Structure 1
Amino acid sequence: MTTWRELQTFIRKSYRVVRDEPEEIRIRVRFRDDVDEEERTQMVVIAREVLDKREEWVQIATPFAKADDVDLRTVLAEIGHTTVVGGAVVMGDYLVLRHSLPLVNLDLNEFTDPLELVTGSAELLEEQFTGRDEF
């Protein structure tokens, strides 16, 4: 079993933290393009959520486009065809790829794979649909 505090400690030791709040940690993940060695980054919000006032969950969320700047139907179709982990939501002005995991039975190694899948997928979606590296 992993607690939110244990997960926070793991994240602080393993990733580049850019914001650290009691219920939320933001990290920046770096990607390197093998073709031209261009570095891209992705901002990730990792937040503690409480379901029904009793079950702790961790949510991994990363924006990849402004919702008004893309064709949502096309983006959602692409996510449906290519993404294994996570789902797309609109949060404020942004289109976000997110995934949630229950903390009750979570081993720390079960956190890293979904984090990498969500973040990597969002980075590819951002590049494909915006052509930029804003997030």
Structure 2
Amino acid sequence: MSTWAALAEYVRDEYEVLSETEDEIRILFDFEHLDEEDERTQVVILVRELLDEKHEWVQIATPIGKASEVDLTALLTEIGLSTVACGAAIMGEHVVLRHSLPLATLDLHEFTDPLALLAGTGDQLEEIFFGGDHY
């Protein structure tokens, strides 16, 4: 995966694409492929980022709920204790988990493993702090 175009092609083949623009792909991550009995899903947003106007990166993000509806201190404390491959941010009115990777040297597993980890963490935190599966 040395370019956004190559990553986008892979994503279209492997995941359910909800929407796509030139620099963004929204997918529905389906946990069923990890566990046949699991019917949960999580919206994940992939965004092409350009660092220093020349280095392509992919940002993997998942919304977990509205920032105004959560105890941010408790949420950030839990993220600090229980996550490995993501950080939290407020984007617009939503709390999102996100992780970024450089595309130039990206190996397939360096993308798929953090994607699955971020989606799973997002789904878990969404259930704990927002009481359901809204995204």
TM-score range, shorter chain: over 0.9
The aligned counterpart of 1:85 is 85
**Aligned-partner SS, 1:58:** strand
Please give the alpha-carbon distance, in whole angstroms, between the structure 2 residues aligned to 1:38 and 1:55. 37
Q: Report the AA paired with residue 65 of structure 1.
A: G
Please give the alpha-carbon distance, in whole angstroms, between the structure 2 residues aligned to 1:38 and 1:68. 30
Structure 2: gaps spanning 5 or more residues: none
The sequence identity of aligned pairs, in percent, is 53
Moved over 4 A (4+): none
| TM-score normalised by L of structure 2 | 0.92
Per-residue deviation, residues 54-106 of structure 1 (Å, max 9, x unmatched): 11100000000110100000000000000000100000110000000001110
The aligned counterpart of 2:18 is 18
Deviation at 1:39, TM superposition (A): 2.5
Identify if the C-alpha distance between structure 1 residues 38 and 3 changes in structure 2 by more than 3 Å, giving closer, same or farther. closer
Please give the alpha-carbon distance, in whole angstroms, between the structure 2 residues aligned to 1:66 and 1:45. 16
**Aligned-partner SS, 1:120:** helix
The aligned counterpart of 2:120 is 120
The aligned counterpart of 1:108 is 108
**How large is the Cα RMSD of the aligned pairs?**
1.2
Identify if the C-alpha distance between structure 1 residues 55 and 68 changes in structure 2 by more than 3 Å, giving closer, same or farther. same
Per-residue deviation, residues 29-52 of structure 1 (Å, max 9, x unmatched): 1236xxxx5632211100100011
Please give the alpha-carbon distance, in whole angstroms, between the structure 1 residues aligned to 2:6 and 2:40. 29
**Aligned-partner SS, 1:134:** coil
The aligned counterpart of 2:41 is 41
Matches within 5 A, 1:124-135: 124-135=124-135
Please give the alpha-carbon distance, in whole angstroms, between the structure 1 residues aligned to 2:85 and 2:26. 19
